[in-house]
Amino acid sequence: MEPSEEKLKREPEMHLRVVGIVKSPLKEPSLVANSGDLERRSRMTGASKGREVISELVIDNDLAGIIDGIEDFSHLLVLYWAHQVDKDGRSIARAHPMGRKDLPLVGIFATCSPARPNPVCAMVVQLLERKGNVLKVQGLDAIDGSPLIDIKPYNPSYYAAEDVKVADWMAQIYREIAQGKC
């Protein structure tokens, strides 16, 4: 049974608490919503290339105890809010992945784009160190100033999936990234 628009309007309002902020060398999003689709504005290069990015997750001082013990993990699942996605960008239903017109037009939930009704992004990162309320991580694609929603220790037995299938176009993107073409 599909939820009706009327039922969705009666649902309770959700409230998220920002637990910290991302400090990153990435200052602008490389992918933005534009004219009802996605547009790639820049390619990541050098130190800002994908998995090489070093960022800091600065936890609010009044919540510093919330990360006690996190340094015992090598990787974290970071959830953050893509705060620069505007209202129009949150209404995109279908898009070309990574703004590439050579890839099929798919529903936004079939992409990892931050342009979505709720611009919540998730990424597994390597934890390099903890200093007080600051976690230094590698591999986060969040731009500077992104609000942190949650951090979880990455547990491969909990999050792992077997026989994972991805769309052919996504496999193509992964190959191109591995070859340095993306």
pLDDT category at 42 given cuts 50, 70, 90 is low
* pLDDT of amino acid 47: 39
| pLDDT exceeds cutoff 90 at 147 | yes
* pLDDT of amino acid 33: 82
Q: Is 66 exposed, middle or buried (0-12, 13-18, 19+ CB in 10 A)?
A: middle
User: pLDDT digit string (tens) for 114-128?
Assistant: 989 999 999 999 999
Please give the Cα distance from 97 to 105 (Å, whole number): 7
Domain range 14-155, its CATH number among 3.40.190.290, 2.40.30.70, 3.40.50.300, 3.30.980.20: 2.40.30.70
137 forms beta bridges with 55, 127
Enumerate the domain spans of the chain: 14-155
| pLDDT exceeds cutoff 50 at 159 | yes
Which residues 6+ apart lie within 8 Å of 95 measured at CB? 33, 37, 38, 105, 106, 108, 111, 113, 115
Please report the beta strands in 82-140, taking only residues with DSSP state E, as ranges in sequence order: 94-95, 106-107, 120-131, 134-138
User: pLDDT digit string (tens) for 3-29?
Assistant: 666 666 677 778 899 999 999 999 988
Please give the Cα distance from 53 to 122 (Å, whole number): 15
* pLDDT of amino acid 48: 40
Residue 85 is given by DSSP the state -
Burial 160-175 (b: 16+ CB within 10 A, else e): eeeeeeeeebbebbee
Please give the Cα distance from 39 to 100 (Å, whole number): 8
* pLDDT of amino acid 2: 60
**pTM for this structure?**
0.84
* pLDDT of amino acid 107: 95
User: pLDDT digit string (tens) for 45-87?
Assistant: 443 456 789 999 999 999 979 999 999 999 999 999 999 988 8
User: pLDDT digit string (tens) for 77-115?
Assistant: 999 999 998 888 888 999 999 889 999 999 999 998 898
3-class DSSP state of 151: strand
Nearest to 149 by CA among 17, 15, 13: 17
* pLDDT of amino acid 69: 97
Q: Rounding to the nearest 10 degrees, give the CA dihedral for residues 125, 131, 134, 135.
A: 0
Q: How many residues does the chain have?
A: 182
